[in-house]
């Protein structure tokens, strides 16, 4: 089985074959995803909600993320593991970005990090890349800016908004990102950015023209009692399946 590297992910740009990526937060799911030969796993800060039960991605800490990154890298030996930098682990300074990203690589054994934002984080990105830490960018709907964006809304719907996302994506490419997540932007804008950039785009809620797609593990498996987001690609109803099994177990014991 192939061991995916940054170069493999970059090469998808020219293969013209869309590639799948997914989040994971623990050892067992990482093993399953790895066996399915998914090229890239993101230990997303969506763990803030999916694992830790917070209401947004904002509260999750470096330490909380590091635990999950370690578990995922133990479970997946072929997929490329990208660790998501939590809110305020990189924004305050380039030094902090370097220290915290370095912890994900050194202690977490991840191969790359993801950070949200465009032109205002380009110096952080170039510094990480110069110091040997590959960076996946993330523009459009950036959930760590939940309050600034007044909620989870499609971004880039106006001419100015679209231009800002194009500028952000271009700045990230120039700073050395190996790929960029495009979250919740109009399909045509995602297509334009994908056709313009020389690095792969990975879409979520941004249509099918991106080079790759990313989904949240819990959305794909229906692992939440809540309604999934509109862009979720759901293949199972694990929440109710597991609930039924636990109820059966409960009854078996009670009736023994
Ligand atoms: O944290 C996350 O799961 C993400 C993806 C949705 C891109 O950032």
Give pLDDT tens digits for 167-206. 999 999 999 999 999 999 999 999 999 999 999 999 999 9
CA distances from 153 to 38, 87, 136, 166, 252 (A): 28, 19, 22, 18, 46
Over 90: is that where the pLDDT of 16 sits?
no
Ligand 1 binding pocket, CB closer than 6 Å: 23, 42, 44-46, 84, 181, 183, 204, 214, 216
What phi and psi values does residue 212 have, to the nearest 5 degrees? -140, 175
Residue (of 56, 123, 57) closest to 90 by Cα position: 123
Query: Average pLDDT for residues 222-242, to the nearest whole number?
Result: 95
Percent of the chain with pLDDT over 90: 98
| Dihedral over alpha carbons 246, 42, 96, 50 (to 10 degrees) | -20
Percent of the chain with pLDDT over 70: 100
Q: pTM for the complete prediction?
A: 0.97
Atom 1 in ligand 1: residue holding the nearest Cα = 44
Beta carbons of 67 and 82 less than 8 angstroms apart: no
Q: How does the average pLDDT of the chain come out, rounded?
A: 97
Q: 226: pLDDT confidence band, cut at 50, 70 and 90?
A: confident
- Nearest ligand 1 atom, CA 143: 8
Residue (of 218, 238, 253) closest to 23 by Cα position: 218
């Amino acid at each position: 089985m192939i061991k995916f590297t940054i170069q493999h992910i970059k090469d998808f740009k020219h293969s013209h074959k869309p590639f799948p990526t997914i989040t994971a937060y623990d050892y067992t799911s990482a093993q399953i995803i790895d066996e399915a030969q998914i090229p890239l796993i993101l230990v997303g800060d969506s763990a803030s909600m999916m694992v830790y039960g917070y209401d947004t991605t904002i509260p999750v800490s470096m330490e909380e993320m590091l635990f999950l990154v370690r578990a995922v890298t133990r479970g997946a030996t072929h997929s490329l593991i990208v660790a998501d930098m939590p809110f305020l682990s990189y924004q305050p300074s380039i030094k902090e970005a370097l220290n915290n990203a370095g912890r994900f690589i050194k202690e977490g054994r991840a191969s790359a990090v993801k950070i949200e934002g465009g032109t205002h984080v380009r110096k952080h990105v170039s510094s990480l890349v110069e110091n040997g830490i590959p960076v996946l960018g993330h523009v459009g709907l950036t959930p760590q800016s939940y309050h600034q964006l007044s909620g989870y809304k499609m971004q880039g719907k106006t001419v100015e908004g679209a231009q800002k996302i194009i500028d952000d994506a271009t700045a990230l490419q120039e700073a050395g990102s190996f790929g960029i997540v495009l979250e919740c932007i109009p399909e045509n804008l995602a297509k334009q950015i994908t056709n313009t950039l020389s690095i792969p785009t990975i879409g979520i809620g941004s249509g099918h023209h991106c080079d790759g797609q990313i989904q949240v593990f819990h959305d794909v498996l229906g692992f939440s009692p809540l309604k999934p987001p509109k862009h979720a690609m759901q293949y199972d109803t694990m929440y109710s399946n597991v609930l039924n099994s636990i109820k059966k177990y409960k009854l078996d014991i009670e009736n023994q």
